[in-house]
Amino acid sequence: MHFRPATEADEGAWQALLERTASGDFLHDRAWADVAAFDGQPQRRYVLEEADAAVAIIAVQQRPLLAGRSFWYVPHGPVLDYDDPRAGEWMRAIVAGLREAGRRHGAVAVKLEPRLEADDPRLSAFDRRGLRRTDETLQVGQTRIVELLDDEALLAGFDKDTRYGVRRAEREGVVVETATDPSETAAIDALHDLVRQTQRRAGFPMPPRERFRVAWQSLAGAGRAAILEARREGELLASGMVVIEGDRSFYLFSGSRREERGEPKRYASYALQWAMMRLARERGVRQHDL
């Protein structure tokens, strides 16, 4: 096995492994490196090879510290097939490689956060590697995975309130439009405005508009993102971005307009999510991450 820095020549193999591996998501997409750089956390990317084929990819975000040191973080990674009986051997090589690379580049620690549940038995691949387990996660701790079946089965899998919301939005005249052109900033700017309104209502801080633009231009530029806008009589009520990696899609950003007191409820967010899942399914997606 050979652990080494990734090069431009690896881009095709990197993306192919990411798309076919269940543990991978957009945080290891080459396009996300532009967002990490905008955040002041430039990536270092590594590949583990076996028999001249990539078996694992590792995107490290470098968080700067004082005196030229850094903290290394691997979001939702390493990406590898944790069901493979060699997963433990691969992890041994990855940990050794990251230790050596981290020391060479001034990292004080490396944090790995694989896309596995806390009680997943496949985490045994991390045992006896000199790692210390922590419950402190940097990514969202809870999510819901939806199997994208046909319309009838998909609706049947929702609770009755969600089914009602989807159908009511249609009766209310809510329509959903899709944007895919990365050079068009109107859709991403409108999405940012709605997210800002939503975050303000919840009391959460809001990332700058330019960060949304970088994510949009990079991911949509690679053909892996779309923005969906739910409108009624031309008025934008809700918007969201979906990212597609192989047979998986991810609900990235979303926001909605707050309805005024006494204003009828239009259920636009239900229409948005329904359209997002159907779009992803049309593009070959089997699982949608909410």
Region of residue 60 (left: phi > 0; alpha: psi -120 to 50; beta: else):
beta
The reported pTM is 0.92
> Mind listing the domains of the chain with CATH numbers?
2-126 (3.40.630.30), 145-289 (3.40.630.30)
- Supply the DSSP string of 29-93, one letter for each residue: STTHHHHHHHTT--EEEEEEEETTEEEEEEEEEEEE-GGG-EEEEEET--EE-TTSTTHHHHHHH
For residue 177, what is the enclosing H or E element?
Answer: strand 175-179
Tens of pLDDT, residue by residue, the chain (290 residues): 999 999 999 999 999 999 999 999 999 999 999 999 999 999 999 999 999 999 999 999 999 999 999 999 999 999 999 999 999 999 999 999 999 999 999 999 999 999 887 777 887 878 777 787 777 777 776 678 999 999 999 999 999 999 999 999 999 999 999 999 999 899 999 999 999 998 888 888 899 999 999 999 999 999 999 999 999 999 999 999 999 999 999 999 999 998 777 778 899 999 999 999 999 999 999 999 98
| Closest among 225, 153, 144 to 184, alpha carbons compared | 225
Give the Cα separation of 207 and 196 in Å (integer): 8
